[in-house]
Structure 1
Amino acid sequence: MITRRTTLALLASVFAPWKASAAPYIDADFFKEKRDKGELPPLDQRLPKNPRVINLKAMGREPGQHGGNIRMLIGGQRDIRLMPIDSYARLVGYDEKLNFIPDILESYTVDEERIFTLKLREGHKWSDGSDFTAEDFRYFWEDVALNLEIHKGGPPIELLVYGKPPLVEAVDPLTVRYTWEGPNPDFLAKLAGASPARIFLPAAYMKQFHVKYQTPEMLAKLMKKNKADDWSSLHIKMSRQLRPENPDLPTLDAWRVITAPPAEQFIFERNPYYHRVDENGRQLPYIDRYLLNVTSSEIIAAKTASGDSDLQFMNLDFNDYTFLKDAEARYPLKVNLWKRSQGSRVCLLPNLNCADDTWRTLFRDVRMRRALSVAIDRHEINMVCFYGLAKESADTVLPESPLFRPEFATAWAQFDPELANRLLDEMGLTERNDRGIRILPDGRPAHVIVETAGESTLETDVLELITDHWRKVGISLSSRPTQRDVFRKRAMAGEVLMSVWFGMDNAIPNADMLPSGLAPTGDDQLQWPVWGIHYLSGGREGKPPDLPEAIQLLDLFKKWRRSVTFEERKAIWLEMLSIYTQQVFSIGTVNGALQPIVHRARLKNVPEKALFGFEPTAYLGIYMPDTFWYDGSA
């Protein structure tokens, strides 16, 4: 059966733009010294036989020229994880219209929604010059995913269907086939994700850290050198593709890290074997190096406005816009506003798994969640914090999504303190203290501590307004900043009553994208982290949901994963969105908020308007930063 996505893949292959082999390839001067010394082969020996050609003119952009560095400010060394996200080299990726397109792969086919055949590019190489072949997929599957010393719980749950792993076949050196017993409709979306499913590793490099291929004596030396307790910990540490902390780990990304932590500056330099070229045969990326400079997150906006960054979005927020815009007059900067693609810019997440028995019982009563939601004056938040430019809404999909329905956005999102008071009274919370704060069943004042990651003054401003709103219906609120990693661990332990975070990660989905954010499926879902880790761990950790509506959402999510038609997936998405918004599992405020994107004025091909978020756009990723370039004449 030829599916819709198979057709897209075939079209992408048949109607590919001009082949770069029609003209000489153009190498970057960055590698001239290595070429002259014979340390690096000529470009035509470094590119795949059929590289991916990016036709920039057809995209309405300008073909560019090689050279230059981009400085970016980061708030800590963990933020080097931005580079694999922004580089956005994927087996299958999204284009700017969120259609699937082969990227690292030359092509792919999908049969019966369960058989995926991946065709690699002949001659494609890792950044160290070793061949990228089906062996890299076989190695990951047989020697890593199925190795219980590395994956103690068995293969990653994201690769299971009906709880069973796929049959993985290396058909030939350039062809890999994955066959599941049942449909796996989100496999391509997982490969295209900002944090993609991992299904391959550079085997030639990684085998030195594997007990199957290395002597015990050499493994012992490598463990000592890299401060690992055992060979499996060593292997895990050295193989982190999404945390580029190992400069020796080969990559397929546009830039490769050459700095090991700890450091104050992390340097990423161009990959000499990168698989993309522009329509003129010029190898991408255009930019030679990224310099990620670590600084305090609190001063990143100020340093950006002082010209210390050439491309910046991290640690900037809408409340920095006026300040940044003023800097355009002093420095050669350009400030764009992109539309954020989260379901809510600031979202409150009552922890349905909190350890406090009284609050847990209250939060699991939908009347409490609805009351807290309708007690919020979203119009005031929009006008005060977003100059009226955002949209007052529940935490749900944006109008840009084909799944958008107005009733999802308005569900329990009206400002109605009278209704909020009535719902709270119905719950029996009728007694108040002398400050007008309601008394809980255990005699305590109804005081909610909202925990934050302490990274956004915008969140603080919104919480100050909500504090006033809730006080008028007898609920007291205070906020407590905590470091992000600590904050999430405390939520998992039940120590957090309520969190403030973004809403839905991906609020511009289509029906072919996984509805994981609407059901307890992950430990980073702060409204139900214990239920989420239970699903994510295959039942080894946490507890299963025991709230009927949460159970229903999880059942629908599993049904989606077994679906075989687009229409079925669409119906499931709409049902899940209806349940989620009516149950107010997350309390949204506004969405469609704007995100400042600051760049050097002479940096070309940075979109003036775009969608901004982690999923599915991978921040800058789908807009192809490897095609950004400096105009020397500007």
Structure 2
Amino acid sequence: MPADPPEDTDRTGPSSTALTFDINQTRAPMAIDPAILASRAFTQSPMWDREVNAGLLPPVSDRLPPNPRVIIPFKEIGTYGGRIRRAITGDIVQVPATMKAKDEGLLTFSHPMGDSIEPNLAERWEFKDGGRELYVYIREGIRWSDGHPFTADDVLFFYNDLLFDDDGRPLDRSVIPSAYQVGGKPIELEKVDDLTLKFSADKPMGRILYGLASHDIFALPLHVYGKWHPRHNPNATYEEFRQRATRAQFLYTEGNPTLAAWRPVQWVRGQRVVYERNPYYWKVDTAGNQLPYVDNLEFTVIPEKQVILLKFMNGELDLFGRYSQIDMFQTLKQAERETGNFTVHLSGPTPAQVFYLNWDAPDPMVRQAFRNRDVRVAMSIGLNREEISQLLFYGFMVPAGHSFYPPSPFYSEKHFKRNSEYDPGRARDLLEGAGYRDTDGDGVREFPDGSPFEFTMDIVSAGGTRDITELVTSHWADIGIKANTFAALRDIIVPRRYSGEFELHYWWYDGADDPLQDRFEWAITGPNQPYWHPKAGEEGPPWLHEATRAMELAATTTDPDTLRKYMIIARDLHTNEIPAIPLGAAYRVWGANNRLGNIPEDVSFGETHGAWGRPLTHEQIFVRQ
């Protein structure tokens, strides 16, 4: 990590740990020949030749839009055919894995590092009225995979009739993305014409481009789903629409039209999801070949991460990263040397795990303790993060406290490191000073009512979470705090998080590298938010209200200096108050079978960018002949 700047300045540029990727190293052309675009001399997969020749499918020149999106392959021009084989631990609960592999937004983060925003389904955009209006111009001629035109109506249908319709919004969308709200009010969306969208708000929309570039769905085919929505069919019911419009139903149901590179053709519940190339996909490479290169994208349901690891090393899976853990690094490297069938990569560091304290815990004694800053500091400096790094991350974790993490432009090493030093003596002093003492000598401090200072950690039972929580439990026991563990499946743990039933929740440190994008984790953005303090609107401390105001002002400006000013205020408040207790920033291990081409050496694991899956850009990956 770079050294801190002098005290009278503040480091707000990207850290030296920010990831980089040089597309200039590719062997593919850096631009498409204008003659290809002018003559419409595109190439298609041989998979479609028979249907085109039989008149069942239009020629590729007619299927592509007048101005297709041109993708520069990471390494070289690929070849057609084959399949990409991946695994997911569940189909319904792991919808994000498939979504991040293939879905498309109006805009997109640059791949594979996510360091800029680029056109995608939309070919351009422009702000007006000081950022209070945003006009987005959809790429002409894009079609859904069934050949039906994609227009502004599909976006409005999703936005107005699903996302902001309380009756139509499915249960898997419990939180409306903060990027589409300004000052607690929804950003208005209207249709200018079939290819033009107008977003408007009474304040500048400083974060909307980030929302439009996210990996989540942002359009729903009106010509298919309209018949199930009461606003478009008086005989329809909201109950049926909500069931059909979940991410899983939309992404997995056979025959559903898509704008992605592959369309769903098989869903065997609890076993596999299979996708086939989309004949109307609207991207080409710089040689004029319609993407994707690969015919099929397949996801096999394998509940156990260790089984996924073994199948990857045995050559039965092509990509391994979503479920990788750093303690798998040595095993992967050894198998890489022995077989030569795959390549292991390290990316990062990115935010690792965190212990979210429930400031509104049902137990009043736990609630009182967690709202005490000295207790939170003691719990943080009572963790031996260096030991955790060496024993469980093989030294690939950088210890850190609660703050903004790299590659955030508002990262500062001084803040990043604060309250992360291991100092059990000071931790004990802080707890003593806060009135938590061990009066009966049993090694556990007492709450003011005389009961033991203890709480329960919620953890997902799969993976290596037990190793970390067992080590952390011993660290806290050393300073007189007893931590119990409740381990269960993700389907049980996640609902407990949003219902407020937990006391301490162990999870990924969401948004630490881009807090403004995920500010519902960092600020009071609505009822029951943030989930670690659902009563913050009424009972939240002054610093959290101040941080919320700062982040709201940052989100409603298009001026970089104003953005920096308010984000530094929010960063400093959060760093000082330490509402949650993270471990640090860890490097991520991942791998790719050597039969695949166009695999980058490095990718972003940032959740905002699509967390490894989308940055890989599956549509430009090919299977070597």
Q: TM-score, normalised by structure 1?
A: 0.86
C-alpha distance in structure 2 between counterparts of 1:143 and 1:594, whole Å: 41
- Change in CA separation of 1:586 and 1:183 when aligned onto 2, cut-off 3 Å: same
Aligned-residue RMSD, C-alpha: 2.8
Residues 562-573 of structure 1 aligned to structure 2 (within 5 Å) = 562-573=556-567
- Change in CA separation of 1:148 and 1:248 when aligned onto 2, cut-off 3 Å: same
CA offsets per residue over residues 5-26 of structure 1, 9 Å max, x none? xxxxxxxxxx986544156111
Q: Which residue of 2 aligns with 1:378?
A: 385
Q: Which residue of 2 aligns with 1:203?
A: 222
> In the alignment, which of 562, 573, 584 is matched to residue 579 of structure 1?
573
Deviation at 1:515, TM superposition (A): 4.2
- Change in CA separation of 1:69 and 1:556 when aligned onto 2, cut-off 3 Å: same
Q: Which residue of 1 aligns with 2:58?
A: 41
> In the alignment, which of 50, 68, 89 is matched to residue 51 of structure 1?
68
Q: Which residue of 2 aligns with 1:177?
A: 198
Q: Which residue of 1 aligns with 2:26?
A: none
Q: Which residue of 2 aligns with 1:121?
A: 139
CA offsets per residue over residues 149-207 of structure 1, 9 Å max, x none? 425999957434345444533222222222222211111111112336x3x32111122
Residue type matched to 1:238 in 2?
R
- Are residues 1:622 and 2:615 paired? yes
Q: Which residue of 2 aligns with 1:495?
A: 501
Contact 2:457 2:506 in 1 (8 A): yes
Q: Which residue of 1 aligns with 2:85?
A: 71
Residue type matched to 1:571 in 2?
K
C-alpha distance in structure 1 between counterparts of 2:609 and 2:533, whole Å: 22
C-alpha distance in structure 1 between counterparts of 2:119 and 2:255, whole Å: 27
Contact 1:118 1:175 in 2 (8 A): yes
Q: Which residue of 1 aligns with 2:293?
A: 286
> In the alignment, which of 586, 590, 604 is matched to residue 611 of structure 1?
604
- Are residues 1:100 and 2:117 paired? yes
Residue type matched to 1:132 in 2?
F
- Change in CA separation of 1:278 and 1:39 when aligned onto 2, cut-off 3 Å: same
- Change in CA separation of 1:119 and 1:554 when aligned onto 2, cut-off 3 Å: same
Q: Which residue of 2 aligns with 1:21?
A: 37
Q: Which residue of 2 aligns with 1:322?
A: 330
Q: Which residue of 1 aligns with 2:483?
A: 477
> In the alignment, which of 371, 392, 411 is matched to residue 418 of structure 2?
411
Residue type matched to 2:104 in 1?
A
State the aligned residue count: 584
C-alpha distance in structure 1 between counterparts of 2:270 and 2:117, whole Å: 37
C-alpha distance in structure 1 between counterparts of 2:90 and 2:333, whole Å: 25
The alignment partner of 2:209 has SS state of: helix
Residues 366-445 of structure 1 aligned to structure 2 (within 5 Å) = 366-445=373-452
Q: Which residue of 2 aligns with 1:332?
A: 341
CA offsets per residue over residues 250-278 of structure 1, 9 Å max, x none? 21111122223524121011111111100
The alignment partner of 1:530 has SS state of: coil
CA offsets per residue over residues 305-338 of structure 1, 9 Å max, x none? 2222111213221111111222222362222122
CA offsets per residue over residues 449-488 of structure 1, 9 Å max, x none? 211012321x322222222222221112232212223213
Residue type matched to 1:559 in 2?
L
Contact 1:194 1:618 in 2 (8 A): no
CA offsets per residue over residues 97-130 of structure 1, 9 Å max, x none? 5211111111111122121111112211011100
Residue type matched to 2:127 in 1?
V
Contact 1:53 1:276 in 2 (8 A): yes
- Change in CA separation of 1:346 and 1:143 when aligned onto 2, cut-off 3 Å: closer
Residues 178-327 of structure 1 aligned to structure 2 (within 5 Å) = 178-195=199-216, 198=218, 200-214=219-233, 216=235, 219=236, 231-241=237-247, 244-260=251-267, 262-298=269-305, 299-327=307-335
Q: TM-score, normalised by structure 2?
A: 0.87
C-alpha distance in structure 1 between counterparts of 2:176 and 2:396, whole Å: 42
CA offsets per residue over residues 70-94 of structure 1, 9 Å max, x none? 1111111122432221224211111
Contact 1:432 1:439 in 2 (8 A): yes
Deviation at 1:348, TM superposition (A): 1.3
Higher relative contact order (CA closer than 8 Å, sequence separation 6+): 2
Deviation at 1:523, TM superposition (A): 8.9
Contact 2:322 2:613 in 1 (8 A): no
Deviation at 1:545, TM superposition (A): 4.3
Larger CA deviation: 156-165 vs 445-454: 156-165
The alignment partner of 2:339 has SS state of: coil
The alignment partner of 1:383 has SS state of: helix
- Change in CA separation of 1:139 and 1:588 when aligned onto 2, cut-off 3 Å: closer
- Change in CA separation of 1:277 and 1:555 when aligned onto 2, cut-off 3 Å: same
- Change in CA separation of 1:181 and 1:154 when aligned onto 2, cut-off 3 Å: farther
C-alpha distance in structure 1 between counterparts of 2:383 and 2:325, whole Å: 22
The alignment partner of 2:615 has SS state of: helix
Larger CA deviation: 163-172 vs 151-160: 151-160
Deviation at 1:426, TM superposition (A): 0.7
Contact 1:488 1:526 in 2 (8 A): no
Contact 2:83 2:623 in 1 (8 A): no
Larger CA deviation: 89-98 vs 329-338: 329-338
- Change in CA separation of 1:122 and 1:493 when aligned onto 2, cut-off 3 Å: closer
C-alpha distance in structure 2 between counterparts of 1:598 and 1:154, whole Å: 33
Deviation at 1:145, TM superposition (A): 5.6
Q: Which residue of 2 aligns with 1:535?
A: none
Contact 1:87 1:255 in 2 (8 A): yes
- Change in CA separation of 1:180 and 1:583 when aligned onto 2, cut-off 3 Å: same
Residue type matched to 1:332 in 2?
N
The alignment partner of 1:273 has SS state of: coil
* Structure 2 unpaired stretches of 5+: 1-29
Residue type matched to 1:130 in 2?
H
* Structure 1 unpaired stretches of 5+: 1-14, 220-230, 533-542
Contact 1:523 1:529 in 2 (8 A): no
Deviation at 1:33, TM superposition (A): 3.2
C-alpha distance in structure 1 between counterparts of 2:462 and 2:528, whole Å: 17
Contact 1:319 1:386 in 2 (8 A): yes
Deviation at 1:376, TM superposition (A): 1.0
Contact 2:31 2:72 in 1 (8 A): no
- Are residues 1:518 and 2:535 paired? no
Q: Which residue of 2 aligns with 1:460?
A: 466
Residue type matched to 1:498 in 2?
L
C-alpha distance in structure 2 between counterparts of 1:151 and 1:260, whole Å: 23
Contact 1:518 1:577 in 2 (8 A): no
Contact 1:395 1:504 in 2 (8 A): no
The alignment partner of 1:474 has SS state of: coil
- Are residues 1:134 and 2:152 paired? yes
C-alpha distance in structure 2 between counterparts of 1:559 and 1:438, whole Å: 42
